[in-house]
Amino acid sequence: MKYLTVILAIAALTATSATARIKMVALPERADTDIRLDNPTVTLIEEERVLTLQQGLNQVDFSWNGVSIDADSIRLQVIDHPDSVTLLNVSYPPNEQALVWEISSAEAVQETVRISYLLYNIDRLVTYKLVADKNETQVDFKSHLVLRNFSGEDFENARVLLDYGEAFERGIQHEETKQLLFLSPGEIAVEKVWTFDAAALPWDPEYVGGNVGIPVSYVIKNTKANGLGEFALNGGKARVYQDDGRGGTIVLGEDNTQPVPVGEAMKIYIGDSRDITVVQKKMNDKQINIRRNNDGKIVLHDTDELITATIENFKDTPARLTLIQHIDGQWDMEACNMEYTLDDASTLKFEIELAANSKQEFSMHYHRRNIRP
Amino acid sequence: MKRTATILVTAALCGAAQAKVDLVTIPTRDTVQLTIYNSADMTLVREQRDLTLKEGDNKLQFSWENTLIDPTSLEMIPKANADRIDIQDLVYPPRVNNLGLWNVNSRISGKSPVEISYLTSGLSWRAFYMGTLSPDETSLRLQGYVRVTNNSGEDYENAQVRLIVGQVHLIDQIAQLAQQQPPYGRPGEITLDYYSYDSGAIERPKMKLSKPSSRIVKSIALDEAPKEIVKEGLSEYFLYTIEGTETIPNTWSKRLPSFDVSEIPVKNLYKYEEDRYGMQTRRFLSFTNDTDHALGETPIPGGAMKVYRSTGENEHLAYEGQSNFKYIPVGEKVELDLGGVQDVIVEPKLMKVATGNFRFNNEGNVSGWDTTYDFRIEVRNTRNVPVKVEIKRNFHTPYWTLEKAGDFGTFEKDDSDTVKFTLELPAESVKTFTYTLTTRLGENRF
């Protein structure tokens, strides 16, 4: 299924029509080939071929019928004798997926040239498989590379390069998909986090009629201390399993991860916990500090608001819940029974340590200021 | 009807399906384990097979025609000689569907066990319950069942069956991945997305109905005692492992008892809240999933429950209603909603309305006032068992005050505009209480 051909001709191209092109005399085989997959959108192919050049003008016909090549991206580089072998011009025959290089050579010579081009419909995906231990503090981290070639071109053997890691040799046929283990740093540390965002989840499960799951995520730091940190991790589908302690595994969940630069953390949302519950209520919401205009109309006021939440951990293990609350505009905290940090002006983050089988009451009494109706 | 096949070949696959040569062995599946989820159409299958490898390069072909296997989940792990068996890659050959080919380099020759695992769609399970109240309705016998159904296209014989309770997060539907050709799609295609998935648009492969297997009937008949189900927590999930093995042919279901607990103390709880239930009282059965209630060992998976009452006459039963269980963690209170009733009546009556405390603006118009409502609430228990009644009153404003009188039981503010009265009523009794609600409107709010 090889559609891409290079034909070396011995006589000069004298006419502009395709029919005027002369006969093939040699079909140089592809030698070293690089498939560069370091760009997330387009793949660069670099292939070397040895041309048997005559003294004087030579023409090399390069055609790619049925192969998804960007014609403007095709380049030819002379490797062995750059001083005596010169690319003079490039011609495109009409109505064909082809071009003709006109090459001048000072003498008859075997010349290695490197042809490079952008090839579409060939790419790579990255997937992750994580197997957590029973305590969920470590994961066996593996990353697979999935090569997909639907470009129209077969590659019998090529050097495959990514934006990280070492290059490796692989062939891949047209319409073939190959999955191979690429990264296997072994056991690395993981943190399990539970997050209740008051803007995203129902406040009172009783009114939902079913369970309100608290999203659970695994957080993995891309650092050298954690066995990673050599390069940014590509985004991809991550499937998380857990060792069941009996020689098998269960699936915990899957997520699409974002690219993770070195030093940052990969967050994988695996599922929802129904063993931690948050029942949140607004116990007070009144207007105070009313200010009026001369007609007696209210032009400015504050609010007096009280939010409470009952947080229960029904698990027999401790957990850390990140509780996220939102207060818009200008506000003052009157009283709050738990410490928080500000994510931004209106987002409050509470890190709450929940003991096994425990219950905590959360209370936040605040005023929003200078509200204009 | 076994449709997955594993074939070991010794020569190279040359790109086309017809190039497969030199069939050596077809290793049979030695053991199989199914881990079936109920929150998603997904089952993890783990098979053990003994491969006969030769030194050097081996190719192992795995095909799954007419099944619902997600090819991107396929994995093979050597269970012995792992340092001498190198699984180099998994190839999905061009122009061939439902087939994967592992390239394996071995430094040993002979038999070696491997585990092949994958995710499949089409196997499911659900929990359901039967509850039987004692004649005085103070205790409940709760019987739990699970029903496992196989529509995967594959027969699973002598499989260890495990059931997972929990809310798993998936990006793609396994059923959709099973139909995707090629397995990882093509470059530039929009990848599958859980949220854009229209389940109605996907047509599953038609499954042929298999003949009833005499072997299945026999195995059921030979079971002398109900199988035990071992329960354990893993991460945010609960894993139920059914004792022994099960054979579940394609298109068959199996019902298995999960637990049977008697003498669970329960309360008859009745709720009245006009904003939620209208003018009708609703009946709930209340208990807690803890040891005080003869439970509390494991969470109770969500499912439908039919509630009966023993009439006390020759163990005859009366049907009381049906409720849908939500997942109940250990330690959490359960409230089973049995629907609207006529025999416990909550009758609020507005006895008086008055307005006052008028405020006027500069133009002489009314700008603020108070409205006062006198309510009389009569609660009648016409049943011959004691009941607990929760009455919520919604005021639709946070600007209110309340004065109450009579036998109003316990009282609490539920949220900024709702209060809750809780009364205990003996059998065939009536309680009455009153409250005066004052709401402040307009400028009187401030």
Examine residue A64 and state whether it is found in any structural domain, yes or no: yes
Compare A195 and A246 and report the one with higher pLDDT.
A195
Q: What is the pLDDT of residue B205?
A: 34
Q: Among candidates B269, B303, B328, B255, which has minimal Cα distance to B131?
A: B303
Examine residue A124 and state whether it is found in any structural domain, yes or no: no
Predicted confidence (pLDDT) per residue in A364-373, tens digit: 999 999 998 8
Q: Are strands A98-105 and A85-91 parallel, antiparallel or unpaired?
A: antiparallel
Q: How confident is the model at residue A193 (pLDDT cuts 50, 70, 90)?
A: very high
Angle at B264 between CA B258 and CA B270, to 5 degrees: 115
Residue A164 has pLDDT above 80, yes or no: no
Examine residue A204 and state whether it is found in any structural domain, yes or no: no
Q: What is the pLDDT of residue B189?
A: 61
Mean pLDDT of the B375-389 span: 92
Q: Among candidates B239, B297, B242, B232, which has minimal Cα distance to B264?
A: B297
Predicted confidence (pLDDT) per residue in A91-125, tens digit: 888 888 888 899 999 999 999 999 999 999 999 99
B119 lies within 8 A of chain A by CB: yes
Given B170, B186, B446, which is nearest A148 (Cβ)?
A: B186
Examine residue B148 and state whether it is found in any structural domain, yes or no: no
Three-state SS string over chain B comes to CCCCEEEEECCCCCCCHHHCCCEEECCCEEEEEEEEECCCCCEEEEEEEEEEECCEEEEEEEECCCCCEEEEEEEEEECCCCCCEEEEEEEECCCCCCEEEEEEEECCCEEEEEEEEEEECCEEEEEEEEEEECCCCCEEEEEEEEEEEECCCCCEEEEEEEEEECEEECCCCHHHHHHCCCCCCCCCCCCCCHHHCCHHHCCCCCCCCCCCCHHHHHHHHHCCCCCCEEEEEECCEEEEEECCCEEECCCCEEEEEEEEEEEEECEEEEEEEHHHHCCCEEEEEEEECCHHHCCCCCCECCEEEEEEEECCCCCCEEEEEEEEECCECCCCEEEEEEEEECCEEEEEEEEEEEEEEEEECCCCCEEEEEEEEEEEEEEEECCCCCEEEEEEEECCCCCEEEEEEECCCEEEEEECCEEEEEEEECCCEEEEEEEEEEEEEEHHHC
B98 lies within 8 A of chain A by CB: no
Best mutation target, A3, A39, A148, A269, to test chain B (most B CBs within 10 A): A148
User: Residue A94 half-sphere exposure, CB side, CA atoms within 13 Å?
Assistant: 6
Predicted confidence (pLDDT) per residue in B125-182, tens digit: 999 999 999 988 889 999 998 889 999 888 888 899 999 988 899 999 999 999 999 9
Examine residue A55 and state whether it is found in any structural domain, yes or no: yes
Whether residue B239 and residue A148 make contact (CB cut-off 8 A), yes or no, is: no
Q: Which residues of B touch A287 (CB under 8 A)?
A: 445-446
Residue B379 has pLDDT above 90, yes or no: yes
How far does B352 lie from chain A, in Å, by closest CA? 27
Enumerate residues 330 to 389 of chain B having a beta carbon within 8 A of any beta carbon in chain A: 330-332, 361-362, 367
The answer to whether B100 and B91 are in contact (CB under 8 A) is yes
Examine residue B48 and state whether it is found in any structural domain, yes or no: no
Residue that is last in its domain, among A119, A136, A160: A119
Compare A255 and B146 and report the one with higher pLDDT.
A255
Q: In terms of residue numbers, what domain contains A332?
A: 277-368
A258 lies within 8 A of chain B by CB: no
Residue B16 has pLDDT above 50, yes or no: no
Q: What is the pLDDT of residue B270?
A: 95
For the ranges A3-7, A216-220, B85-89, the lowest mean pLDDT is seen at A3-7
Mean confidence (pLDDT) of chain A: 89
Positive or negative CA dihedral for B312, B313, B316, B319? Answer: negative
Given A176, A269, A273, which is nearest B92 (Cβ)?
A: A176
Examine residue B60 and state whether it is found in any structural domain, yes or no: no
Q: What is the pLDDT of residue A219?
A: 96
Three-state SS string over A59-115 comes to EEEEEECCCCECHHHCEEEECCCCCCEEEEEEECCCCCCEEEEEEEECCCEEEEEEE
Residue B2 has pLDDT above 90, yes or no: no
A137 lies within 8 A of chain B by CB: no
Residue B236 has pLDDT above 50, yes or no: yes
Q: How confident is the model at residue B221 (pLDDT cuts 50, 70, 90)?
A: very low
Given B87, B170, B399, which is nearest A253 (Cβ)?
A: B170
Is A9 in a helix, a strand, or coil? strand
For the ranges A22-36, A355-369, B69-83, the lowest mean pLDDT is seen at A22-36
d(CA A126, CA B253): 38
Q: What is the pLDDT of residue A242?
A: 96
For the ranges A242-246, A296-300, B46-50, B288-292, the lowest mean pLDDT is seen at A296-300
Compare B26 and B368 and report the one with higher pLDDT.
B368
Given A150, A178, A281, which is nearest B186 (Cβ)?
A: A150
Residue B202 has pLDDT above 60, yes or no: no
Q: What is the pLDDT of residue A68?
A: 87
Q: What is the pLDDT of residue A92?
A: 86
Q: What is the pLDDT of residue A129?
A: 96
How far does A53 lie from chain B, in Å, by closest CA? 34
d(CA B305, CA A226): 48
Examine residue B166 and state whether it is found in any structural domain, yes or no: no
Examine residue A307 and state whether it is found in any structural domain, yes or no: yes
Q: How confident is the model at residue A294 (pLDDT cuts 50, 70, 90)?
A: confident
For the ranges A12-26, A149-163, A212-226, B160-174, the lowest mean pLDDT is seen at A12-26
Q: What is the pLDDT of residue B298?
A: 85
Best mutation target, A121, A142, A275, A282, to test chain B (most B CBs within 10 A): A275
Mean confidence (pLDDT) of chain B: 83
Residue A354 has pLDDT above 90, yes or no: yes
Examine residue A159 and state whether it is found in any structural domain, yes or no: no
Cα→Cα distances B268→B70, B137, B320, B426, B433, Å: 48, 7, 12, 11, 21
Residue that is last in its domain, among A119, A152, A176: A119
Given A210, A250, A314, which is nearest B329 (Cβ)?
A: A314
Whether residue A211 and residue B73 make contact (CB cut-off 8 A), yes or no, is: no
Cα→Cα distances A211→B184, B301, B324, Å: 34, 11, 12
Q: How confident is the model at residue B33 (pLDDT cuts 50, 70, 90)?
A: very high
Query: How many whole angstroms from its chain centre is CA B430?
Result: 40
CATH number at residue B357: 2.60.40
- CB neighbours of B354 closer than 8 A, spacing ≥ 6? B371, B372
Structural domains in chain B (count)? 1
Determine the straight-line distance between the first and last CA of chain B, rounded to whole angstroms.
Answer: 76
Examine residue A71 and state whether it is found in any structural domain, yes or no: yes
Positive or negative CA dihedral for A262, A264, A269, A272? Answer: positive
Enumerate residues 69 to 128 of chain A having a beta carbon within 8 A of any beta carbon in chain B: 120-123, 125, 127
CATH number at residue A300: 2.60.40
Q: Which residues of B touch A249 (CB under 8 A)?
A: 44, 46, 117
B158 lies within 8 A of chain A by CB: no
Which chain B residue shows the shortest CA-CA distance from A192? B235
Structural domains in chain A (count)? 2
d(CA B257, CA A214): 30
Residue that is last in its domain, among A84, A119, A154: A119
Phi, psi (deg, nearest 5) at residue B17: -60, -35
Examine residue B357 and state whether it is found in any structural domain, yes or no: yes
Question: Tokens 């850390």 identify what position?
Answer: A320
Examine residue B377 and state whether it is found in any structural domain, yes or no: yes
Predicted confidence (pLDDT) per residue in B41-94, tens digit: 999 999 998 888 899 999 988 888 888 999 999 999 999 999 999 999 999 999
Residue A47 has pLDDT above 60, yes or no: yes
B262 lies within 8 A of chain A by CB: no
Residue A195 has pLDDT above 90, yes or no: yes
Examine residue B353 and state whether it is found in any structural domain, yes or no: yes
The fraction of chain A above a pLDDT of 90, given in percent, is 64
Give residue A21's identity as a one-letter amino acid code.
R
Q: In terms of residue numbers, what domain contains B379?
A: 344-445
Examine residue A50 and state whether it is found in any structural domain, yes or no: yes
- Model-level pTM? 0.79
Q: What is the pLDDT of residue A318?
A: 93
Which chain B residue shows the shortest CA-CA distance from A237? B171
For the ranges A251-265, A311-325, B219-233, B293-307, the lowest mean pLDDT is seen at B219-233
Residue A267 has pLDDT above 90, yes or no: yes
The answer to whether A217 and A258 are in contact (CB under 8 A) is no
How far does A162 lie from chain B, in Å, by closest CA? 16
